[in-house]
Amino acid sequence: MNKVGSTICLILLHIYLSILVTNSAPETAIVTQIPGFNGTIPSKHYAGYVTVDESHGRNLYYYFVESEGKPSEDPVVLWLNGGPGCSSFDGFIYEHGPFNFEAAKTKESLPTLHLNPYSWTKVSSIIYLDSPAGVGFSYSENETDYQTGDIKTASDTHAFLLKWFELYPEFLANPFFIAGESYAGVYVPTLAYEVLKGIDAGVKPNLNFKGYIVGNGVTDEQIDGNALVPFVHGMGLISDELFEEVNRECNGNFYNSLSDNCTSKLTKVDEDIDGLNVYNILEPCYHGTEAEKITTSYIRLPSSFRKLGETEKPHPVRKRMFGRAWPLRAPVRDGIVPTWPQLINSNNVPCTDGSVANAWLNNEVVRKAIHTAEKSVVSSWDLCTDKISFNHDAGSMIKYHKNLTSRGYRALIFSGDHDMCVPFTGSQAWTRSIGYKIVDEWRPWLSNGQVVGYTQGYDNNLTFLTIKGAGHTVPEYKPQEALDFYKRFLAGLPI
Ligand SMILES: *[C@@H]1O[C@H](CO)[C@@H](O)[C@H](O)[C@H]1NC(C)=O
Ligand SMILES: *[C@@H]1O[C@H](CO)[C@@H](O)[C@H](O)[C@H]1NC(C)=O
Ligand SMILES: *[C@@H]1O[C@H](CO)[C@@H](O)[C@H](O)[C@H]1NC(C)=O
Ligand SMILES: *[C@@H]1O[C@H](CO)[C@@H](O)[C@H](O)[C@H]1NC(C)=O
Ligand SMILES: *[C@@H]1O[C@H](CO)[C@@H](O)[C@H](O)[C@H]1NC(C)=O
């Protein structure tokens, strides 16, 4: 080959190489070892930051797990936990991530990580995102950013997605879904709507958005606020007499009591359910230092009830979940939504146990391995933070759901049916209230040969689904069933 020819070759090779480099995941983001895990990582993991606002230095942290199936074809799913203020490592550690975390025997050692046979990464690639800035490992160099709300969070997360897909362009063609739980009942539809507007406006890169998933999600102040009383009555937690009285005094309006008589009946309801674990009425609530003692209200539950709440998860579910949505007396309304630590006005949270996550994510070696900011920038990881002040400024989510589903985006609305935090009665009511024709009438759905919940399918691919015996964070309580419905929904199969 002559000199000119070889020069052209080199140039072509150079171009080819640079295409290769710019067309694949950033090498610096790859996670090569996972402290506490002894085996071979079953798929590629990446972690790092995406800057969503250069002038403010606002940086969102993500942990990306490639599918353990066919990463080149399987859907890519963005996962969001709620709060507001809770880190999406909740999902990674306690719900559907690739590992089950076993608590360390001693305070100094790390948790032991085992492979999770029901990881949602068996069938999809997942981006676990800490959002908004101030949550988990995400941060801003300008602290005014910690005053935020629904609208700003959705636009930041959209900016994140566009930049993320520029970094990982090999995933642009995969079907893309947005999923989350609890307060992410607001994050998911508001973000999906930003994505839709971006697609309509021809914003690049073009996201191959297909649909979304919301679990025990906050949706509508009035419908969700009215859902508790029928739930606690149906579950046998209040008497028929009280149910009749509260209905009479409140006229079905429980979310916004207009009379002293209504308020006093609601107080009676509250007293009856006070000792229960709000995130799963079948689970015990542990109190302070008497951590292992179960309350009398738990003992009162018949054993068949307790059985319903049992899980095949090898490591017990948390004693009481901290990734809250919605404490009974502090419903999500327009305006500032208090974060958990702000609500309870203390750092010492009663009845909670996020110790495995804390031990792992605050470990220096782990933080290095998963590419978090230095401790001087993000001093510690909290499951839920009080660093942010969060304004619920997007109102009811029903208009978003109408818009998204009428545009052909598929929606799965699922509920652990023993969650008292965002009870299924609310999600059942609002999905029905949209008024779409029923195309798959209420029926049981099966997993492993058993009825594990119920579903009703509506026109425009809107599906409501319950998971029997599960609490607020369904995959934490019912991992096998959760992987089953997730897999079927992503594949577009009936559940
Ligand atoms: C880690 O792997 C080594 C060698 O394969 C094994 O001997 C050890 O028991 C493993 N430790 C844990 C905690 O699984
Ligand atoms: C932080 O952001 C606010 C709002 O944009 C701006 O007014 C302020 O100057 C910024 N502060 C710093 C230190 O950059
Ligand atoms: C409220 O309850 C009291 C006592 O049951 C009753 O006498 C009164 O009429 C009620 N008030 C209204 C406005 O219904
Ligand atoms: C959905 O939103 C788009 C973009 O804002 C708007 O043009 C459209 O009319 C809305 N559709 C419905 C059914 O609300
Ligand atoms: C429902 O989703 C399927 C699969 O994506 C699609 O083919 C179908 O057109 C959708 N139906 C409606 C009514 O949007």
Q: Is 224 a catalytic residue?
A: no
Phi-psi region of 337 (alpha: psi -120 to 50; beta: other; left: phi over 0): beta
- The residue nearest atom 4 of ligand 3, judged by CA position, is 261
Distance 236 CA to ligand 3 centre (A): 26
Catalytic residue chosen out of the listed positions 67, 87, 182, 447: 182
pLDDT attached to residue 106: 83
Write out pLDDT tens, residues 23-55. 577 889 999 999 999 999 999 999 999 999 999
What is the best residue among 33, 34, 37, 38 to mutate for testing ligand 1's pocket, by most ligand atoms within 8 Å of CB?
Answer: 38
Q: What angle do CA 471, 473, 479 make, to 5 degrees?
A: 95
Nearest residue CA, atom 4 of ligand 1?
38
481: its two tokens: 């069933």
Query: Hey, what are 152's tokens?
Result: 């700003």
pLDDT tier, 341 (very low <50, low <70, confident <90, very high otherwise)? low
Residue 411, pLDDT above cutoff 90: yes
Name the token pair of 34: 């996972």
Candidate from 36-40, 253-257, 392-396, 451-455 with smallest mean pLDDT: 253-257
- The residues spanned by each domain of the chain are 31-237+276-406+413-435
- pTM of this prediction? 0.87
Nearest atom in ligand 2 to the alpha carbon of residue 145 is: 2
Sign, CA dihedral 292-298-304-306, equals negative
Tell the residue nearest (CA) to atom 14 of ligand 4: 403
CA distance 26 to 167: 7
304, pLDDT greater than 50: no
CA of 382 to the centre of ligand 4 (A): 38
- Ligand positioned closest to the Cα atom of 39: 1
pLDDT band at 279 (very low <50, low <70, confident <90, very high): confident
DSSP secondary structure of 286-308 = -BTTBTTPPPHHHHTS-HHHHHH
Q: What is the pLDDT of residues 147-191, one digit of tens each?
A: 999 999 999 999 999 999 999 999 999 999 999 999 999 999 999
pLDDT band at 107 (very low <50, low <70, confident <90, very high): confident
**One-letter amino acid identity for 421?**
C
For 316, the token pair is 């017990």
Domain 31-237+276-406+413-435 has CATH 3.40.50.1820: yes
Is residue 403 lining ligand 4, measured as CB closer than 6 Å? Answer: yes
Which of residues 13 and 273 earns the better pLDDT score?
Answer: 273
**Measured between alpha carbons, how far is 334 from 472 in angstroms, rounded to an integer?**
22
- Mean pLDDT check: name the lowest of 50-54, 87-91, 138-142, 284-288: 284-288
To the query of whether residue 418 is one of the catalytic residues in this protein, the response is no
Q: Check whether 286 has a pLDDT greater than 80.
A: no
Of 220, 382, 419, 484, the active-site residue reads 419
Q: Is the pLDDT of residue 306 over 70?
A: no
Lowest mean pLDDT among 31-40, 246-255, 313-322, 439-448: 313-322
First-residue to last-residue Cα distance in the chain: 61
